[in-house]
Structure 1
């Protein structure tokens, strides 16, 4: 299978992975030959799809980190919990509903942690772009998954991982108390920026009152915009005064923003994070994230420093920045026949580097 930008899909391409809607209902199955109607139908839903390609015909399955059904159930549960927390009524019916939703969330989230812990694969970042859910809830879940991958890489115990993951889920809950017009506005005035920043304190106050949640979860909401050089808010804390979980969530949520809102590929987003080392983010946390994720996803097209062009077909667990690449275009720019494709393991050829990476399939290549 090969990764292709939805904007570069063409009639006749064949799906290598199924496409689901927001409720985990199957839209298009594996083997579907795309029509113009199909392409227009899914264009507003997802930025990338996997198509069948003889370049990668030996890759029959990509392991997603969590099943679609579990992901959609989690999104729904997050929505219910957020709604009950923001409901200020204190009657018995509301309180009972709130407790039930908390129990459901903890149960669902425990399954997510179990799925991640049982997987020996690196976090597949592109799989999180397969569905466009409600922005806040999708962002919350993605931030949680990235935070968990960082925490696991840092050796954080499983019991604490649950707190970290839930802290990431709730990190932006204070924004639900702000006007929608403010959340969707691009250029904020100074007064509006101050109001936007208040979501950290609002979220802290909301979460600390919830007896079902560990108090540290509230502190994650409070501190996730603090910066290691003291330039963050709400208190301008420096690195040693910021809780480790808040520093992890800061990296995770910025990464999700870059790949979803800025449409960057994972390796580009990682480079942006490195640019903020010692200013916004802790270098140790970025390094832990880099070692825990598939920076160059399987199926993505890359250009090597030699001029060769190929598709990533595997990664090395300890050095994910040095993947295995199947070459379909040689140094002279000649497209190879299927029988002449060859693989390069960048972990063994250290002088060769990836210089370009995209999700665009060349339709004139032999595929």
Structure 2
């Protein structure tokens, strides 16, 4: 797309923007119109000096529109992964309803101008890790909030706070790749909720959403930051985001096996995290997505065939290979909800 004087226009060029009359501000020609000699004469008589056109060397790309579509696609993929609404998945009726509500809200969040703006900034930082983490945390938070019986309004607030919870890290991109932060770096890192809060405020985002960004690193026992809030003094939405943020950070950034991440959530309940929310997260969502190829603690390899009414980390698995990676003549089924000494060790 480039701006050209009317004197340099010729037929077959394509308008890249609407053209308004400079005197009356009425629409003369619409975006996308293929210019003719008649159009050029019209522009001259109306004293239009320049117009924006597309040419063969220029591709018009709206980065924010692309980001918005991508946010929606990623959110929907994550939501249906953790709460599949397919009959063969054996998802509970309640979680199917939650999943459908979460998907509808996700579409609204994906077109929120502030969300698109900040997510675009994350992408332009060349930090897919941060961007994807925020999207994942949003999807999980929507599902957990829904599983806790919260309504659409509260789910929307929590989902928006979740997708923006780490926006303050845009101010300190150099820390995203630091494996072991020193004291000075850790002090700066702990300021990112405040940065995010101020950015969100300046963008005109609702106060209750800004507060979720500010308090998402507060811990149940009061050892968090920035205000050292504890227990129920921490807003419910911030407690939900903390659980989902922690889980996704463990499996995506720190590369924990999912069973270890689940153990961390259970172990942190009542200490760092709200134990009730951690239980909802672990017990309501399909931690291992339907169709995942997994290795069990026995060394055997199989496929998640049924999420057992969304009972967290213990689905039904069809086993195809033994511990030596040799195929069984006849695959067998194991219900991890009953075989409590066996667990999923990793997703392959």
TM-score over 0.5 for the pair: yes
Q: Judge conservation of contact 1:75–1:141 (CA < 8 Å) in 2.
A: no
Partner of 2:294 in structure 1? 301
Distance 1:252 1:352, change over 3 A: closer
Cα distance in 2 for partners of 1:270, 1:147 equals: 16
Structure 2 SS opposite 1:328: strand
For residues 331 and 146 of structure 1, do their structure 2 counterparts lie closer, same or farther at Cα, with a shift above 3 Å needed?
Answer: closer
Match of 2:117 among 76, 81, 95: 81
Partner residue in 2 for 1:249? 241
**Is residue 288 from structure 1 mapped to residue 276 from structure 2 by the alignment?**
no
In structure 2, C-alpha distance between the alignment counterparts of 1:296 and 1:326, rounded to whole Å:
13
Using structure 1 for the length normalisation, give the TM-score. Answer: 0.58
Is the CA contact 2:286–2:310 (under 8 Å) kept in the aligned structure 1? no
**Matched residues in 1 for 2:227 and 2:118: separation?**
25
Partner residue in 1 for 2:181: 188
The answer to whether the 8 Å contact 1:300/1:357 transfers is no
Q: Does the Cα contact within 8 Å between 1:311 and 1:327 map onto a contact in 2? A: yes
Partner of 2:44 in structure 1? none
Change (3 A) 1:308 1:260: closer
1:54 is aligned to none
Aligned-pair distance for 1:266?
Answer: 2.8
Matched, 1:343 2:337: no
CA drift at 1:334: 6.8
- 1:155 pairs, out of 134, 139, 149, with 149
- 2:342 alignment partner in structure 1: 354
The gaps in structure 1 that reach 5 residues or longer are 1-21, 26-58, 87-131, 361-367
CA distance in 2, matches of 1:252, 1:147: 6
- Give the match for residue 218 of structure 2: 226
Match of 1:146 in 2: 140
Alignment of 1:57-206 (within 5 A): 74=110, 80-82=116-118, 134-178=128-172, 180-206=173-199
Evaluate the alpha carbon distance shift between residue 171 and residue 23 of structure 1 in structure 2; reply closer, same or farther with a 3 A threshold. closer
Q: 1:23 to 1:284 in 2, by over 3 A?
A: closer
**Cα distance 1:287–1:323, how it changes in 2: closer, same or farther (>3 A)?**
same
Q: Which residue in the other structure is 1:237 paired with?
A: 229
3-state DSSP of counterpart to 2:240 = helix
Check the 8 A contact 1:79/1:137 in 2, yes or no: no
Q: Which has the larger radius of gyration?
A: 2
Give the CA deviation at 1:74: 4.2
Specify the alignment match of 1:276 in structure 2: 268
Structure with the greater relative contact order (CA < 8 A, sep ≥ 6): 1 or 2?
1
Number of the residue aligned with 1:320: 312
- TM-superposed deviation, 1:83: 7.5
Any idea what the Cα deviations from partners look like across 1:92-124, whole Å, max 9, x if unmatched? xxxxxxxxxxxxxxxxxxxxxxxxxxxxxxxxx
Task: Count matched residues.
Answer: 250
